[in-house]
Amino acid sequence: MPSKPKPVRRLVIVLGDQLNADSAVFDEFDKDRDAIWMAEVPAESTHVWTHKARIALFLSAMRHYRDQRRAEGFRLDYRQLDDRGCRETLGEELVAACKRLKPEELAMVEAGEHRVQQQMEAAADEAGLPLEVHTDRHFYSTRDEFADHAEGRKQLRLEFWYRELRKKHNVLLDNAGKPEGGKWNYDADNRGTFGKKGPQDVPEPPTFRVHGPTKEVLELVASRFANHPGSLENFNWPTTPGQAERALEHFIATRLPRFGDYQDAMWTDQPFLYHAMLSSSLNLKLLDPRLVVAKAEQAYRSGHAPLSAAEGFIRQILGWREYVRGIYFLHMPEYLERNELGATAPLPEFYWTGETDMRCLSQAIGQTLEHGYAHHIQRLMVTGLFSLLLGVDPKAVHEWYLAVYVDAVEWVELPNTLGMSQYGDGGVMASKPYCATGKYVQRMSNYCTACRYNPAKATGEDACPFTTLYWDFLARNQKRLKGNNRMTMQLKNVERKDADDLAEIREQAERLKAELA
């Protein structure tokens, strides 16, 4: 008979995106009296219809973490998804673990998703135990620091927060404490396109061996979640801190120098281009953002990467990543319900299959299903733009993004989706809706050359649906957007449009919406 586990003093909860060994929750960890608790539960893969690769990444990284911690002498209570009697939710598993292990108290680092934090607190209440919640020091800034920054400001903008963090953490500053090169932001240099020749010599991403827990989990996910979206065939994401650091080194050595120039560009059958592919490693906390930023700064100082590339990259991590987290925690839980534009259309079915004759969408969604990855402009200005123009319910859009990307955790996904891409928050994240015609896609990619639609046309059989819906979007939201100075030009253009032409466009838009619904 196996001996009954000893009661523990403190049970330390580690969630699937909290895999940093130096987390604050371990500061006073006593290996003789405390234990780590982790659980894989079905609900975390099904509360949104999760991509197989995202499930596999989380489970594999968790199992690697478990094995490492055990090897270091930590006591771990770990529930596997394929264990007999595995309960549906994290809350149920935690209550059961408390009954079994009889801890005196629980501890955790604040969860990256409001829903999960609520569940942990409810489970602690049910078990009648105190729950100590620690600040997440993986990030440069705390939630309170962001709240202080936001206090009294009518409008929040990335730029001010980013500068504050650059100064505070002495990143890319010269000896006088001024920004390197004299400017804080090289965004204007980050919008290059590939021209007709297309991208040249794009480095292959590094590959990661599938073994041990990864192999085990890929098999489990393939059989248990066979009907979930996405493929596991190309699974190639770092699942350990060692692999994540290798991915970082590879990016700095091969892709960072051109990251700046081509950050916004897209190209057929080129899913990764010069992007870092580090978001999942950062969000699971396999990788420390300070290390990532330091390596990028070092690449600039050593002359390996131009300032526009290093600054452009650092801005994403020290700037955007910290900023969206601040927004999420400042506004949750009501943020999730926001729908400034009153959008109610359902998400088109092709978002789950990639089967559409719109080339840009079939490319962006196709690679998403294949890899669980699309880069920022594909997310914002292809899939995000189309659902914005179509008027899809922002919550449905949010659930799709949360489900299909390997790096999706709600604190980062929700403000980017509901806020930045859908304008559902009415301007908290972005000062205006990111709306454009198909001509934007044409300028930034080669997708339109092989598409049956014409980005310059808003009506007719070959009219680009983005272009048709763009005018319809402006016309239907004219009143709502009127007070926004940054929309003046676009709204003027719609006002100037010939009434008959606009009516024809809007009829075509209605037919399109009906087809897609």
Question: Which residues contact ligand FAD (rule: CB under 6 A)?
Answer: 275-279, 282-283, 313, 316-317, 320-321, 324, 375-376, 379-380, 384, 401, 405, 407-408, 412-413, 416-417, 420-421
Which region, left, alpha or beta, applies to residue 457 given φ > 0 means left and ψ of -120 to 50 means alpha?
beta
Closest CB 463 distance from ligand SF4, rounded Å: 9
Closest CB 55 distance from ligand FAD, rounded Å: 15
88 three-class SS: coil
Partner in contact with 453, chosen from ligand SF4, ligand FAD, none, beta carbon below 5 to 8 Å by kind: ligand SF4
Residue 333's DSSP bridge partners are none
DSSP string of 492-516? HHHHHS-HHHHHHHHHHHHHHHHHH
DSSP string of 262-322? HTT---TT-SSTT----HHHHHTTSS-HHHHHHHHHHHHHTTSS-HHHHHHHHIIIIIIIH
Closest CB 437 distance from ligand SF4, rounded Å: 8
Closest CB 112 distance from ligand FAD, rounded Å: 10
Partner in contact with 380, chosen from ligand SF4, ligand FAD, none, beta carbon below 5 to 8 Å by kind: ligand FAD
Nearer to ligand SF4 (CB atom), residue 172 or residue 381? 381
Closest CB 458 distance from ligand SF4, rounded Å: 11
Helix intervals (H) in 137-284: 143-150, 158-168, 212-224, 241-254, 256-262, 279-283
Of the candidates 440, 511, 430, the residue with the CA atom closest to the CA atom of residue 472: 511
Who's near 84: CB < 8 A, 6+ residues apart? none
Nearer to ligand FAD (CB atom), residue 311 or residue 407? 407
Q: Which helix (H) or strand (E) element contains residue 79?
A: strand 76-79
Residue that has been written with the tokens 């549906």 in this structure: 88
Partner in contact with 451, chosen from ligand SF4, ligand FAD, none, beta carbon below 5 to 8 Å by kind: ligand SF4
Of the candidates 242, 332, 512, the residue with the CA atom closest to the CA atom of residue 250: 242
For 386-408, give one letter per residue: b (16+ CB within 10 A) or e: bbbbbbbbbbbbbbbbbbbbbbb
430 three-class SS: coil
Nearer to ligand SF4 (CB atom), residue 220 or residue 444? 444
Rounded to whole angstroms, the Cα distance separating 187 from 309 reads 10
Partner in contact with 401, chosen from ligand FAD, ligand SF4, none, beta carbon below 5 to 8 Å by kind: ligand FAD
Residue ranges that bind ligand SF4, judged by CB under 6 A: 358-360, 438, 441-442, 447-448, 451, 453, 455, 464-466
Nearer to ligand FAD (CB atom), residue 282 or residue 502? 282
Of the candidates 444, 447, 463, 419, the residue with the CA atom closest to the CA atom of residue 359: 447
Closest CB 506 distance from ligand FAD, rounded Å: 26
Closest CB 33 distance from ligand SF4, rounded Å: 60
Nearer to ligand SF4 (CB atom), residue 127 or residue 381? 381
Partner in contact with 477, chosen from ligand FAD, ligand SF4, none, beta carbon below 5 to 8 Å by kind: none
Closest CB 199 distance from ligand SF4, rounded Å: 18
150 three-class SS: helix
Closest CB 279 distance from ligand FAD, rounded Å: 3
Who's near 480: CB < 8 A, 6+ residues apart? 340, 341
Nearer to ligand FAD (CB atom), residue 340 or residue 413? 413
Nearer to ligand SF4 (CB atom), residue 306 or residue 465? 465
Partner in contact with 379, chosen from ligand SF4, ligand FAD, none, beta carbon below 5 to 8 Å by kind: ligand FAD
Partner in contact with 324, chosen from ligand FAD, ligand SF4, none, beta carbon below 5 to 8 Å by kind: ligand FAD
Closest CB 6 distance from ligand FAD, rounded Å: 40
Nearer to ligand FAD (CB atom), residue 320 or residue 466? 320
Nearer to ligand SF4 (CB atom), residue 97 or residue 389? 389
Closest CB 28 distance from ligand SF4, rounded Å: 55
Closest CB 193 distance from ligand SF4, rounded Å: 14
Partner in contact with 317, chosen from ligand FAD, ligand SF4, none, beta carbon below 5 to 8 Å by kind: ligand FAD
Partner in contact with 390, chosen from ligand FAD, ligand SF4, none, beta carbon below 5 to 8 Å by kind: none
Partner in contact with 316, chosen from ligand FAD, ligand SF4, none, beta carbon below 5 to 8 Å by kind: ligand FAD
Rounded to whole angstroms, the Cα distance separating 396 from 414 reads 11
> Are residues 143 and 112 in contact, defined by beta-carbon separation less than 8 angstroms?
no
Partner in contact with 37, chosen from ligand FAD, ligand SF4, none, beta carbon below 5 to 8 Å by kind: none
Rounded to whole angstroms, the Cα distance separating 140 from 165 reads 8
Rounded to whole angstroms, the Cα distance separating 305 from 295 reads 11
Partner in contact with 275, chosen from ligand SF4, ligand FAD, none, beta carbon below 5 to 8 Å by kind: ligand FAD
> Are residues 171 and 293 in contact, defined by beta-carbon separation less than 8 angstroms?
yes
Nearer to ligand SF4 (CB atom), residue 80 or residue 193? 193
- The alpha carbons of the chain give a radius of gyration, in whole angstroms, of 24
The bridge status of strand 35-39 relative to strand 105-109 is unpaired
